[in-house]
Amino acid sequence: MQYFVVMIDYGRRGREAIVDPEITRREVISRVASGEYSNVSFIHEIVDSSVEDVTEAILTEAALPQVPPDEVDLQAVRLDHARDLCKHERT
**pLDDT value at position 73?**
65
For the sheet containing 40-47, what is the strand order?
15-19, 2-9, 40-47, 50-53
**pLDDT value at position 29?**
94
Strands (E), the chain: 2-9, 15-19, 40-47, 50-53
How far apart are alpha carbons 57 and 53 in whole angstroms? 9
pLDDT tops 60 at residue 22: yes
Which one-letter DSSP state was computed for residue 39? S
Residue span of the structural domain in which 82 resides = 2-90
**pLDDT value at position 82?**
76
What would the mean pLDDT of 8-30 be, rounded to a whole number? Answer: 93
**pLDDT value at position 70?**
59
What would the mean pLDDT of 20-29 be, rounded to a whole number? Answer: 93
Closest CA to 44 of 8, 13, 15, 10: 8
**pLDDT value at position 78?**
73
The total domain count for the chain is 1
